[in-house]
Amino acid sequence: MSGLLDLVGGTPLVSLRHSGVLAKLEYLNPGGSVKDRAALSMVLAAEESGALRPGGTIVEGTSGNTGLGLAQVAAARGYRMVCVLPDKTAVEKLDALRAYGAEVVLTPSALPKEHPNHVVAWAARIARETPGGWWADQYGNPANPAVHLRTTGPEIWEATEGRVTHFVATIGTGGTISGTGRFLKEASDGRVQVIGADPVTSSYNGGDGSPFAIEAAGHYVHPQTVDDPWPDSYHRDVVDSVVAVPDRASIEACRALARTEGLLVGGSSGTAFAVAREVTGDCVVVLLPDSGRAYLSKYHSDTWCRRQGFLDGELSAFVSPVVSVPVGTPVAEARRALESSGQPALPVVLAGRSDRFPPAAGEVLALATASDLASGTVGPASVPPVGLGVGESVADALERFPDGEVAHLVRDGRLAGLVTRGALRAGEQ
Q: Rounded to whole angstroms, how far apart are CA atoms 83 and 85?
A: 6
Residue range 35-135, CATH number: 3.40.50.1100
How high is the pLDDT of residue 82?
A: 98
Sign of the dihedral through C-alpha 312, 313, 315, 316: positive
How high is the pLDDT of residue 93?
A: 93
User: What pLDDT digit, counting tens, does each position of 368-415 carry?
Assistant: 999 999 889 999 998 889 899 999 999 999 998 876 789 999 999 999
Torsion angle defined by CA atoms of residues 117, 118, 120 and 123, in that order, rounded to the nearest 10 degrees: 20
Q: Which residues belong to CATH 3.40.50.1100 in the chain? A: 4-30+142-294, 35-135
Residues annotated as part of the active site: 35
- DSSP label at residue 5: G
Spans of the chain, pLDDT less than 50: 1, 429
Torsion angle defined by CA atoms of residues 189, 138, 92 and 264, in that order, rounded to the nearest 10 degrees: 0
Q: How many helices (H) and strands (E) does the chain have?
A: 13, 16
Give 330-367 as a 3 state SS string: EHHHHHHHHHHHCCCCEEEECCCCCCCCCCEHHHEEEE
CB atoms within 10 A of CB 403: 8
What is the phi-psi region of residue 50: left when phi exceeds 0, alpha when psi lies from -120 to 50, beta otherwise? left
E-strand stretches of 203-358: 241-245, 284-288, 325-326, 346-349
Residue at 335: amino acid letter = R
How high is the pLDDT of residue 419?
A: 96
What is the phi-psi region of residue 9: left when phi exceeds 0, alpha when psi lies from -120 to 50, beta otherwise? left
How high is the pLDDT of residue 1?
A: 46
Q: Which residues belong to CATH 3.10.580.10 in the chain? A: 305-428
Among residues 404, 400, 417, 314, the alpha carbon closest in space to that of 368 is found at: 404
pTM of the model: 0.96
Q: 4-30+142-294: which CATH number, 3.50.50.60, 3.40.50.1100, 3.30.1370.100, 1.10.3720.10?
A: 3.40.50.1100
As its CATH architecture, domain 305-428 has: Roll (3.10)
Question: Measured between alpha carbons, how far is residue 19 from residues 16, 22, 156 in Å?
Answer: 6, 9, 18
User: What pLDDT digit, counting tens, does each position of 64-97 carry?
Assistant: 899 999 999 999 999 999 999 999 899 999 999 9
